[in-house]
Copies of this chain bind each other. A is one copy, B any other.
């Protein structure tokens, strides 16, 4: 629990620093910087985690790894639902995403949700990049603290 807290707090500090503590940058630039931090973290994390585990059968197998092992490692729970169109789009539903769980429910807070999703979009993209899957990851909140991450695999 303490380790989770450390990770939550330092993540919150990073978000707050990128948005308020540094230079004046646009919302989009700040989101992109957090995404980049997440990417670097995810890339290295997977290197550490999969050092001794086996190869993955296929793309879906890799996605299942993200939804189960990786999510448990980072967020202490599994992704609640994984859907795919079998054409390179995967949607991961988290019914109680940890970085949103501290936010009060209410429409007025929804506008800030992307700040708390950017790092994780990057994290997923970084993990997948290291596993050989190039993709674009976006996130969407409908009702706090639930959200979904959409992975669009880039072919060719």
Chain A positions within 8 Å of B, measured between CB atoms, are: 1-7, 9-11, 13-14, 16-18, 21-23, 25, 33, 36-37, 40-41, 44-45, 48-49, 73-74
One complex includes copies of this chain to the number of 2
Would A6 and B40 count as touching, CB distance under 8 A?
Answer: no
Q: List 22 A-B contacts (CB under 8 A).
A: A2-B74, A5-B48, A6-B45, A6-B74, A7-B7, A9-B40, A9-B41, A9-B44, A9-B45, A10-B41, A13-B14, A13-B37, A13-B40, A13-B41, A14-B14, A17-B18, A17-B37, A18-B22, A21-B33, A22-B23, A22-B33, A23-B23
The binding surface of chain A is classed by DSSP as helix
Would A41 and B6 count as touching, CB distance under 8 A?
Answer: yes
A44 cross-chain contacts in B, Cβ below 8 A: 5, 9
For the complex formed, measure the closest distance between the CB of A56 and the CB atoms of chain B, giving whole angstroms.
Answer: 18
User: When chains A and B are docked, how far (Å) is the Cα of A112 from the Cα of B10?
Assistant: 21
A21 cross-chain contacts in B, Cβ below 8 A: 33, 36
Which residue of B1, B10, B48 is within 8 Å of A10 (Cβ)?
B10
